[in-house]
Structure 1
Amino acid sequence: MLHKVYIGVGSNVERDKHTRAGLLALHKLFGQLTLSNVYESEAIGFSGTPFYNLVVGFDTELSVEQVCHQLKAIELKNGRRPHQKKFAPRTLDLDLLLYDDMVTNEGVELPRAEILHNAFVLLPLSEIAPDVMHPISKQRIAKIWQAFDKTKQNLWKIDFNWRPESL
């Protein structure tokens, strides 16, 4: 059975290098990816260099636990330190945002709360999944973005082209 998955991708340490490496690793594991635009955003919760953020969608037969395991492995391969504090610079951050319409807090939080609170997650998610229903609010992602207070966080769309065949 195929599951629809959305992943938040972020980096603020060698952003271009690690974002591209993360996308290539996701492509190798999961095949065709749907990518949002890439945005630059200020660090939230700590003083640091701006992040690159985007959202990636794909289909997989893997379980939610297997997806989480693969995401952790990609992060570690890209220099992420285990047990790193939440608000700190990141070489690569891969966050499972949605896995079908699963709602859970066992092992992983789904849907991820950041969807409703961070423009750098919600805007790119709304680009590639506007009609997806948020499993808790029961509203479409596009409607949630439309109602979001866009003055809370600054985002800048950047020119970022990525195709797996070009690597």
Structure 2
Amino acid sequence: MAHVFISIGSNVDRDRHFRQGLAALISHFPDYVHSDVYESEPVGFSGRNFYNSVFATHTDMALSDLCVLLKQIERDNGRTPQDKKFSPRTLDLDILFYDDMICDTPAQLPRDEITKNAFVLRPLAEIAPEFIHPVQGCSIADIWQAYDNHTQKLWKVEFSLP
């Protein structure tokens, strides 16, 4: 079984879409760990703040099947294939790690934004501090400790599923 980490983000009707996306993940992967939820400013465009978190689970799904499932959950929450990369999102589900796999298709693994964006790295460090980044060769805790981008602000928000 592969150890998988998925980032969750939303800034369009974010409370509803974030909850629905998280609930969908839980329904498919009931044995999981979920970080705290953080609010962050958008990176690369102007818009409403995001809710972000990281969801971790184990799965025997092939990577390609997991990609299809996540895209379907996004579509179920109003995401369209025409959405631009740096634009508002109803729901954004990105695979960060699939074990220690390194590849570019069907998804970029490990996800490049792990080391660049606090809204991914901080919740990841919260739930997987000892996980070794297969390209960087060091732990997520070490990457977070060395992270130096003070322009990206995020803060923890109170969040619970009903």
Q: Give yes or no for TM over 0.5.
A: yes
Q: TM-score, normalised by structure 2?
A: 0.98
Q: TM-score, normalised by structure 1?
A: 0.95
User: Which residue of the partner structure matches residue 20 of structure 2?
Assistant: 21
User: Which residue of the partner structure matches residue 148 of structure 2?
Assistant: 149
Q: Once the two structures are superposed, what CA deviation does each residue of 1:38-97 show, in whole Å capped at 9, x if it has no partner? A: 010001111100000000000111011011000000000000011311011000000010
Q: Which moved more, 1:68-77 or 1:146-155?
A: 146-155
How do 1:1-167 and structure 2 match up within 5 A? 2-162=1-161, 166=162
Q: 1:106 offset after TM fit, Å? A: 2.1
Gaps of 5+ in 1: none
What is the distance in 1 between the residues matched to 2:152 and 2:3? Answer: 28
Segments of 4+ moved more than 6 angstroms? none
What is the distance in 1 between the residues matched to 2:18 and 2:31? Answer: 16
SS in 2 for 1:117: coil
Q: CA RMSD in A?
A: 0.8
What is the distance in 1 between the residues matched to 2:64 and 2:26? Answer: 19
SS in 2 for 1:7: strand
What is the distance in 2 between the residues matched to 1:3 and 1:22? Answer: 21
Gaps of 5+ in 2: none
